[in-house]
Amino acid sequence: MDGDSIARIAYLGLLGAAVVAWFISQNRQTLNKTLQQAMAWVFIFVGVIAVVGLWEDIRTTVGPAPQMTVTGETIEVPRAHDGHYYLPVVVNGEPITFLVDTGASQIVLSAQDATRVGIDPDQLNYFGRAATANGEVRTAPVRLETFTVGPITDQNVSAWINEGELHKSLLGMDYLHRFSNIQFADGRMILSR
């Protein structure tokens, strides 16, 4: 900090002290009441700032989750509040919500989801490599007995278990190519076989 900055801070501090002293002298008789009102406004202001800052989290938590609709062999998935598409899938009899990731090649399960579907991540051979936004991670190939999306069940589906930190399992293009038609329209992803 140079001399000018120190002088500005000292000047602002002195000016602030003068304003506070004037305020106290003018409101000496009702100081307690005035301080209560000022604190009420401070809490209102802080509350509004907190709501604005946390609005996306509040909306996601309180709002209803987007629902998948099925018509024949056509599946429609609405875009979630965060702009992504989440597809509910039953893997080996266990429900798992996948993040549809057109930038991913394969189906990638997180270690937590792998455990839920009966795969022990500690017993796998991690010889694969994947480039992610967080850097390179090791992966292990697995076979999923059943993979059910709406009315469509595929068997013996290849997937990978990610050894890195993965918060949501990914549904990549390898599986999406099983559909004859993939569309994104009006905030919905439409999959047809």
Q: What is the DSSP string of 2-28?
A: -HHHHHHHHHHHHHHHHHHHHHHHHTS
Q: Are residues 89 and 172 in the same domain?
A: yes
What distance in Å separates the CA atoms of residue 189 and residue 86, rounded to the nearest whole number? 10
- Categorize the per-residue pLDDT at 37 as very low, low, confident or very high, splitting at 50, 70 and 90: confident
Residue in the structure block whose two tokens are 């909306």: 59
Final residue in a domain of this structure, among 17, 46, 62: 62
Structure tokens at 11: 């000047």
By the 8 A CB rule, do 121 and 114 touch? yes
Final residue in a domain of this structure, among 62, 79, 95: 62
| Domains: count for the chain | 2
Could you read off the pLDDT of 41-100 as tens digits, one per residue?
888 988 888 888 887 676 666 655 557 888 888 899 999 888 899 999 999 999 999 999
What count of other Cβ atoms lies within 10 Å of the Cβ of residue 144? 21
Res 146 pLDDT > 80: yes
> Domain span at residue 32?
3-62
Give me the percent of the chain exceeding a pLDDT of 90.
31
Q: Which of 77, 91, 97, 186 has its CA nearest to residue 146?
A: 91
pLDDT score for 66: 58
Q: Are residues 122 and 188 in the same domain?
A: yes
**Over residues 94-121, mean pLDDT:** 90
Q: Are residues 113 and 51 in the same domain?
A: no
What distance in Å separates the CA atoms of residue 192 and residue 183, rounded to the nearest whole number? 9
Strands, E, within 49-192: which ranges?
Answer: 69-71, 74-78, 86-91, 94-100, 108-109, 128-132, 135-149, 152-162, 170-171, 181-185, 188-192
Q: Are residues 54 and 100 in the same domain?
A: no
What distance in Å separates the CA atoms of residue 180 and residue 6, rounded to the nearest whole number? 69
Q: Are residues 19 and 75 in the same domain?
A: no
What distance in Å separates the CA atoms of residue 90 and residue 67, rounded to the nearest whole number? 15
pLDDT score for 107: 93
Q: Residue 38 forms beta bridges with which residues?
A: none
Q: Are residues 75 and 156 in the same domain?
A: yes
